[in-house]
Amino acid sequence: MDFRVSREAFLRVLTHVSSIVDSRSTIPILSNIYLKCENNQIEIRSTDMDISIREFVSCDSTKNGEATVNSRILTDIIRKTKKNSIVKCKLEGNRLIINSDNSVFELNALSADEFPKFVPLDPTNSFELTIPQMKRLFNKTKFAISAEETRYYLNGIYFHTIANGSKTALRCVATDGHRLAKTELDLSNAVNIAGIILPRKFILQLDRILGDFEGKVKMICTDTQVSLEADNFIIISKLIDGTFPDYEKVIPVSNDKLLQVEAEPFFNAIDRVSTVNQDKTPTVKLQFENNNIKIMATSTDSNKGDEEVAASYAAEALEILFNSKYILDLQDVIEGETMILELLNQSSPVIVKDPKDATSLYILMPMRI
């Protein structure tokens, strides 16, 4: 293997591929990335046995070959080389020789035969989305993914298709048991996804990587795996093997008290008042009455804060306790200037809607007063 490659192009792909590598893996080969040079193209792969990434980058090659080298070390070397330089790599026996300007490095190379194979998925059940559409689906729901390993079936986003009139819509749902986020998108091509759970790690990896691509992505779903393709990039992930709860049952249907408030002043007030509460579970009490929201916070060591925000609310007075962090997380998903809260009583779930986005809905569970 002998090739020359642009430092910027090489680093871009290495950064993508190395993002899933576990440097603490007890299996040495999994701390490496796979390099294969063939026909003026480098294939670069990595895996943690749950997620696999493959990406290609163009190069000038004089000899084909393949090897695996330590992911972190190779990526750090290329990152620290001079910008806009040309990197030369040559495999000599079990050593990868790297040249850039006046620097020379030698890395130990393990046999490529030991590296796990990359097997693309059957494209039978596939569909295309634009990258902004895919990012929007994830951004609208990922904040509600549970981090509790004991409830592993909540450690991801639930993907399934629904009938939406004459069209098919892709719906994404996430919940941690304290809040829920739901959004959907009409699909131009017919596809049937009965229900799969995309793992949190897969979502976070895509969140980091998709910004480097443009155009469309192709998504393929099977009963056990999912893959996403963009340009010369493919990522494949195992799905979470579990049953997602019937989320429709927790969406209230009888919340008859409506409140509308300007989003930015409301969030800013919550942020200011909750500053006094540095407890592990920061709480904020909201009093709804006479076109007004009174926001109050008290900490376990007697710090206090309160502020009032104007709102449109004509129903009976109501007082509800929330986790302030859960309210503030909504700041990144509400697009409009106002937001709507649908209330029932102090112990029932609250529906949050964005008038500018009819495709999304959020649920907040109150805390006990």
194-232 pLDDT, tens per residue?
A: 899 999 999 999 988 988 888 999 999 999 999 999 888
Residue pair 102/88 in contact by the 8 Å Cβ criterion: no
Distances (CA, A) of 335 to 140, 356, 359: 10, 6, 12
The model scores a pTM over 0.75: yes
pLDDT at res. 59:
97
29-46 pLDDT, tens per residue?
A: 999 999 999 999 999 999
Distance, in Å, from the CA atom of 66 to the CA atom of 148, rounded to the nearest integer, reads 40
For 150-168, give one letter per residue: b (16+ CB within 10 A) or e: eeeebbbbbbbbeeeeeeb
On whether the 251-364 domain is CATH 3.10.150.10, my answer is: yes
On whether the 2-114 domain is CATH 3.30.565.10, my answer is: no
Give the residue-averaged pLDDT of 11-22. 95
Confidence of residue 302 (pLDDT cuts 50, 70, 90): confident
pLDDT at res. 190:
66
Distance, in Å, from the CA atom of 134 to the CA atom of 1, rounded to the nearest integer, reads 37
Please, which residues have CB within 8 angstroms of residue 353's CB and are 6 or more apart in sequence?
Answer: 339, 340, 342, 360, 361, 362
Residue pair 207/138 in contact by the 8 Å Cβ criterion: yes
Distances (CA, A) of 356 to 140, 310, 336: 13, 20, 5
Confidence of residue 310 (pLDDT cuts 50, 70, 90): very high
Distances (CA, A) of 324 to 302, 321, 342: 17, 9, 18
Residue 189 has pLDDT above 80, yes or no: no
Architecture of domain 126-248: Roll (3.10)
Lowest mean pLDDT among 140-154, 275-289, 352-366: 275-289
- Residue 364: count other Cβ atoms within 10 Å of its Cβ: 20
Where along the chain do the CATH 3.10.150.10 domains lie?
A: 2-114, 126-248, 251-364
pLDDT at res. 332:
96
Residue whose entry in the numeric block shows the structure tokens 């990868």: 96
> Which class for 78: exposed (0-12), middle (13-18), buried (19 or more C-beta within 10 A)?
buried
For 102-112, give one letter per residue: b (16+ CB within 10 A) or e: eeebebebbeb
Distance, in Å, from the CA atom of 274 to the CA atom of 319, rounded to the nearest integer, reads 17
Residue (of 156, 177, 179) closest to 51 by Cα position: 156
Residue 167 has pLDDT above 90, yes or no: no
79-97 pLDDT, tens per residue?
A: 999 999 999 999 999 999 9
Residue 121 has pLDDT above 80, yes or no: yes
